[in-house]
Structure 1
């Protein structure tokens, strides 16, 4: 092999590049459409479309033998049920926030599920120019707070989140997309993210992979491992939190239900 031949991207590098480049496309599109006075619905639809088209093209070109599970294509790629490698992607997580001028709590999710575990993942927060990868993983931040900070949805307070807030005396803050909420924990802006209203696998795959690579706890609400590429793409619940809070969080949820 020639020494001048370009080195192939690792899966982690590939995931990060896709998250970054998709994010840049979305930032440029959003700015142009807002400048033209486009409607909220048109901005959302255009964002979903351009992100999906770019990612589908890149995956087909650079990982043609891998299967794909994507929000925008749903479960149409039936190869994933017998595949060792499945890319689980959310081209635009937080479409609602993307369509609102000034909001930065939307994300791009890229994850590789390989032989029953995460092979690589990246989450980008394009509006703030940030990307988080499994390799290199973000450092676990040191935080000092009188009370844990719990992050929840903008428009609803999950019952489990209420139990955790009451059980741990947590202060609550609200954000949009699942990726933005999980990365707020990774960044140290929050300590706990609990969701029990149901979501799809692509909503949490990349965020949970990045969080676990950084040393955070991520699991189902009963503490069981998160499993992806299931035949049903629906995932009922999800926790990301600092490792030292995992047991208190689970105790708050299940102690109150006994």
Structure 2
């Protein structure tokens, strides 16, 4: 199991990386840099910072980063840090947008045991210890958070079954943390992600007392040779049964 200082390390690395990304974005925009330069520089500098910090603090641990070369020696490692240095590059490269994130998670035996998600543009980091306090239930329609572009099939299925109100945000981390912070009730994604897209958000969501699973209700497992992860459901516990039932009916061809 994760040690107390693993939680603190995840939070500090996520927060530091977020501050770095804010500085990079402000500096490049003020110098007239284009969108792709902002994205590429942010991705690169954030990745380098995370790898250096984790290598120094946990030299025996493996790392899987969206921006790094995948060393498959991680498959036999007891502890693997799965990180997304910049979740939501499109939002990051749009001045004024705050719905992007930094993901840092520790995985042991396929299970996230410590993690943090930084929302740098709003100066907030949520982590597994101290765990977030889940707000009281929302009294109106369930609020389902989806991507800014076309909502995924899982979201549409749940929205129709639960008469949910749709709200849009950018990155996966921003959407998941909207549920943690009480701004939304359900986040469902199908059509594919990678392990780094939801590993840290799942760790933080579970620490807050939220439901987190695959869309068929099965466990989310991490650190596979192929890091593709088809779907995820993160929601308040009171909506989990109905959301999974709606998805199950479609999966089984009953609807």
1:161 aligned to 142, 146, 155, which one?
A: 155
2:102 aligned to 98, 108, 126, which one?
A: 108
1:19 aligned to 1, 14, 18, which one?
A: 14
Q: CA deviation at 1:255?
A: 2.3
Match of 2:41 in 1: 46
> What TM-score do the two structures reach when normalised by structure 1?
0.94
| CA pair 171-84 structure 1, distance change in 2 beyond 3 A | same
Q: Which 10-residue stretch deviates more, 114-123 or 161-170? A: 114-123
Per-residue displacement from partner, 1:213-235 (whole Å, max 9, x unpaired)?
11000000000010000111000
Aligned-CA RMSD value: 1.2
1:10 is paired with a residue whose SS is helix
Unaligned stretches of 5+ in structure 1?
1-7
Q: Runs of at least 4 residues of structure 1 off by over 6 A?
A: none
Query: Structure 1: how far apart are the matches of 2:178 and 2:107?
Result: 23
Aligned pair 1:177/2:178, yes or no? Answer: no
Match of 2:242 in 1: 248
Unaligned stretches of 5+ in structure 2?
none
Matching of residues 69-84 of structure 1 within 5 Å: 69-74=64-69, 76-84=70-78
Query: Structure 1: how far apart are the matches of 2:124 and 2:54?
Result: 22
> What TM-score do the two structures reach when normalised by structure 2?
0.95
Query: Structure 2: how far apart are the matches of 1:144 and 1:44?
Result: 36
Match of 1:149 in 2: 143
Aligned pair 1:30/2:30, yes or no? Answer: no
Query: Structure 2: how far apart are the matches of 1:144 and 1:245?
Result: 12
Aligned pair 1:68/2:63, yes or no? Answer: yes
Matching of residues 87-236 of structure 1 within 5 Å: 87-236=81-230
